[in-house]
Amino acid sequence: MATPTIDIVMFNMSAYTDWQHGIANRNMHVLHTLLQDERVRKVVAVDYLPFTLKRAVRQWFQNVLGGPAGQVLARGFGYRLTALRGSEIELTGYHLPGVGPNDIQHKLFVFSSVQSFWNEAKCYQTLQRELARLNLKNVVLWSYLPTFVGCFGVLGERLSVFDAVDNWLEHSSYLKVKDRLKVNYQTIRARAGLIFTTAQDLTKIFDRPQDCTYVPNGVDVERILSAPRLVGRDIASLPRPIIGYIGTIQEDRVDVSLIQRLAEANPQKSFVLIGGVWPGIREQVNQRLRNLPNVHLLGRKSFRETPQYLREFSVAIIPHKQNEFNRHTNPMKLYEYLAAGKPVVATPGAGLEGFADLVYLAATPEQFNTALIRALQEDSVELRERRQAIAAAESWQARVKVMLGQVFAKLGD
């Protein structure tokens, strides 16, 4: 009997080109892990749909006029459909087995549109028309985008899936559309066949005892362990020990005052922050951190580079605010830190309690500083091996196996 297959139309929380330029999130990992499963025939990645003029303009230039290179299958006013070549997929850090840099396997397609800015229904009509040329079968709609929910039921899908990453109701970037999000989450609750969440508390938003499952983030252990050592780069010459953080420096997430206090209390240690600084927190970062000689803001690094920087850390930190937003998150960096064997010091947050025997949890600056010193003193080969062994069981392949298991079980009902 032939293996059953599905085609996936995935509404992304990012643009594909963002992933190519170093931004990494759960959406990116899940999509590319799905591509490697023989039961997934085709994936159409729908770039983040804009609802503001600023984002629509960016989408127009970056992804409709620009966009990833490949075979352009369709292009019209405000949209573009592209079949990706191997080299474009490899820019994300992933590759498809047997696909060369210049090959187009016609398994991954990217649809970019700005039509959602002025007419959501028109956007779906265009998408539906262009999907017809791909001969999709057994379609699963898979969404990461709570700002638009009109897609449910209009693409002829056999099953709809929503993967809830964070609670966007608590995200400062979406305060102006909070009422819209409240309504949309209830629409998702009613219309999605399956819901996955990144945090246990997120399941409460949907209040569904059935078909709503907590699936934490994961890690690609091989990518972390195979990273070569950096030579002659910015971090390579910094004084040791290096206390490091990898991730977007964003106002809802990062506790800048905590980092300042730690750096001031440890002038002989190098504090390295790797990630883009969002506009809403830039002034605070400039005032509190830029003038500290042992704080080094190295900016965003590509997805391929970050494991190399992680190798240089003596201790990896998660200095997140203890707020409602972070109560609904599950930091991917935790799994990457552990996969690299690094000691981790973190403020309490969602998903961390399960690693209490390997992660130093600290609720106050004083506790964090004490834990930082302990982490440096207590690190050992045995502890590094324990961390890596735990991380090995937290792979993206394991997460997607759970997700697809539920998808095919639901389709078989």
Same domain, 228 and 177: no
- pLDDT band for 53, please (50, 70, 90 cuts): very high
Same domain, 256 and 360: yes
The fraction of the chain above a pLDDT of 70, given in percent, is 99
Q: Is residue 286 part of a domain?
A: yes
Same domain, 165 and 230: no
- For 259-275, what is the mean pLDDT? 97
pLDDT in tens, 272-315: 999 999 899 999 999 999 999 999 999 988 888 899 999 999 99
Predicted local distance difference test score (pLDDT) of residue 350: 76
* Nearest alpha-carbon partner for 130 in 151, 108, 155, 101: 155
pLDDT at 118 over 90: yes
Q: pTM for this structure?
A: 0.95
More confident call, 236 vs 285: 285
Q: Is residue 31 part of a domain?
A: yes
Picking from 121-125, 189-193, 277-281, which range would have the lowest pLDDT averaged per residue? Answer: 277-281
Q: Is residue 1 part of a domain?
A: no
Question: Can you give the residue range of the structural domain that contains 404?
Answer: 6-218+395-411
pLDDT in tens, 6-29: 999 999 999 999 999 888 999 999
- For 367-371, what is the mean pLDDT? 98
Q: Is residue 70 part of a domain?
A: yes
Predicted local distance difference test score (pLDDT) of residue 246: 95
pLDDT at 103 over 80: yes
Strands 194-197, 242-246: pairing is: unpaired
Same domain, 255 and 196: no
Q: What is the CATH number of the domain that holds 352?
A: 3.40.50.2000
Is residue 353 a contact partner of residue 389, using CB atoms and an 8 Å limit? no
pLDDT in tens, 199-217: 988 898 998 889 999 999 9
Same domain, 267 and 345: yes
Q: Is residue 107 part of a domain?
A: yes
Predicted local distance difference test score (pLDDT) of residue 302: 82
More confident call, 303 vs 39: 39
Distance CA(369)–CA(169), nearest Å, equals: 32
Same domain, 75 and 104: yes
Distance CA(157)–CA(47), nearest Å, equals: 18
pLDDT at 87 over 70: yes
Predicted local distance difference test score (pLDDT) of residue 58: 96
- pLDDT band for 376, please (50, 70, 90 cuts): very high
Same domain, 374 and 399: no
Same domain, 100 and 188: yes
Distance CA(98)–CA(115), nearest Å, equals: 35
Distance CA(400)–CA(238), nearest Å, equals: 38
Question: Looking at the 3D structure of the chain, how many domains does it have?
Answer: 2
pLDDT at 232 over 80: no
- For 402-408, what is the mean pLDDT? 97
Same domain, 23 and 170: yes
Same domain, 125 and 210: yes
More confident call, 100 vs 403: 403
Q: Is residue 324 part of a domain?
A: yes
Same domain, 161 and 199: yes
Output Rg (C-alpha) for the chain, integer angstroms. 21
Predicted local distance difference test score (pLDDT) of residue 2: 65
- pLDDT band for 335, please (50, 70, 90 cuts): very high
- For 84-107, what is the mean pLDDT? 90
- For 145-158, what is the mean pLDDT? 96
- pLDDT band for 326, please (50, 70, 90 cuts): confident
Predicted local distance difference test score (pLDDT) of residue 281: 94
pLDDT at 1 over 70: no
pLDDT at 237 over 90: no
Distance CA(111)–CA(349), nearest Å, equals: 35
Predicted local distance difference test score (pLDDT) of residue 413: 65
Q: Where does residue 240 rank: exposed (0-12), middle (13-18), buried (19+ CB within 10 A)? A: exposed
Q: Which two tokens stand for residue 407?
A: 């998808």
Q: Is residue 82 part of a domain?
A: yes
Same domain, 385 and 402: no
pLDDT at 54 over 60: yes
